[in-house]
Amino acid sequence: MTDLKKRFNNILQDIEKNVTNKQDLDYIKTQVYNISLLFLDELDKLAEINLNRLNTMADREKELEAKIESMEKIIDKLEKEVYSSDEDSDFEIVCPYCNAEFIEDFSNGIKYEVRCPECDNLIELDWNEEELEDDIESSLNSEENKNNSEYNDDEEDM
């Protein structure tokens, strides 16, 4: 900006040197000033447009962040409820047939059936999958409700 100011003043000085008539000089200086105002006006408008664009981008980013956050929560839940971490992959199982307690390793993924080492019966494992699916569904629905609140209002009226 200081460079711009310097160049602007240089031009004015140059005009002063070359225009000897005082009346002409005042007229030219006024018009130069008017022209520079036009450009400043235009710069202001451009700056405002850019600011609006930045604000819109920031809003979109916030929306996206919120969506990512809720997806991360769902993923966290999935990981906690379905998959076990490396340190916590052993589960204690009580056999419903003979009440024998044994440790099963799930580090290679979840199993839906394990065989009791004592009585050799197959034990079905319940991982609360329905509950988990409901959680995911309600999370996704609440996200949709936010976006389609008008549509849902209409439905309630009917």
Number of residues that bind Zn ion (CB under 5 A): 7
Q: What angle do CA 148, 149, 152 make, to 5 degrees?
A: 90
Closest CB to Zn ion among 49 and 119? 119
Q: Which of residues 70-129 bind Zn ion (CB under 5 A)?
A: 95, 97-98, 100, 116, 118-119
- How many Å apart are CA 54 and CA 64, to the nearest integer? 15
- How many Å apart are CA 131 and CA 120, to the nearest integer? 29
Q: What is the CA radius of gyration of the chain?
A: 36
CB of 99 to Zn ion, least distance (A): 7
Closest CB to Zn ion among 79 and 118? 118
- How many Å apart are CA 8 and CA 26, to the nearest integer? 16
CB of 107 to Zn ion, least distance (A): 23
Give contact residues for Zn ion (rule: CB under 5 A): 95, 97-98, 100, 116, 118-119
